[in-house]
Chain A
Amino acid sequence: QVQLVESGGGVVQPGRSLRLSCAASGFNFKNYGMHWVRQTPGKGLEWVTIIWYDGSKKYYADSVKSRFTISRDNSKNMVYLQMNSLRAEDTAMYYCARDRPYGDYTIDYWGQGTLVTVSS
């Protein structure tokens, strides 16, 4: 079965960096685009970024552009989110999620999330 397990969250000071990881299993990882989506405590969902199945394309929400970088290692079935210059408003649960491979830009599986808290 599809499993996505995030790690790397924690408490970090404003302006510092953090790298999140997502370990994928139960499917042919190299064939799927992967997203990061975040959710502020008690609030709604906010899409953060997507990376194409082969890493050839990446797109970002304006709120994180130039600060966050998504990457992947298909040999290890891993996707990463490098977060720099963190702000208080980046505090959220970060979910790793899989993109359906049928061209309809739908997220079909989600991990359980890792919590990032930006606070001094």
Chain B
Amino acid sequence: EFVLTQSPATLSLSPGDRATLSCRASQSVSSYLAWYQQKPGQAPRLLIYDASNRAPGIPARFSGSGSGTDFTLTISSLEPEDFAVYYCQQRSNWFWAFGQGTKVEIK
């Protein structure tokens, strides 16, 4: 079974801090990994696709990296609107998997 594991579950940081979120795949399938942001009461929003490409309209403080089984989302300097839950996503054998999410909360 293909699984994406995100860490940490919760990240407590202050505005202006750097956030580093991890996503690990149970097996290497491709570099087609995406990151989404979800705020309470809202649908998810695509941030990063193909591991490192920002979606249209996404600020440059969001960046993605990684390959194989280990991927990272970095927020260089947290803005108040960045406190949210972040999910990674990847497809394997016609199954779209999501990580369990990392909550970035205000410290």
Q: Within 8 Å of chain B (Cβ to Cβ): is A9?
A: no
Q: Within 8 Å of chain A (Cβ to Cβ): is B106?
A: no
Chain B, interface residues (CB within 8 Å), range: 20 to 34
Q: Mask for A91-116, Cβ within 8 A of B = 1, else 0?
A: 00001000010001111111111000
Chain A, interface residues (CB within 8 Å), range: 20 to 34
Cα-based distance from A39 to B87 in the complex (angstroms): 12
- Indicate whether A106 sits within 8 Å of B89 (C-beta atoms), given known contacts A47-B95, A47-B97: yes
Task: State the majority secondary structure of interface residues on B.
Answer: strand
Identity of the chain B residue whose Cβ is nearest the Cβ of A6 in the assembled complex: B43
Instruction: Give chain A residues whose Cβ lies under 8 Å from the Cβ of B45.
Output: 110
Cα-based distance from A83 to B32 in the complex (angstroms): 30
Identity of the chain B residue whose Cβ is nearest the Cβ of A113 in the assembled complex: B43
Q: Can you show 13 pairs from A to B with CB atoms below 8 A apart?
A: A44-B100, A45-B44, A45-B87, A45-B101, A50-B96, A59-B94, A61-B95, A95-B43, A105-B32, A106-B32, A107-B44, A108-B46, A112-B42
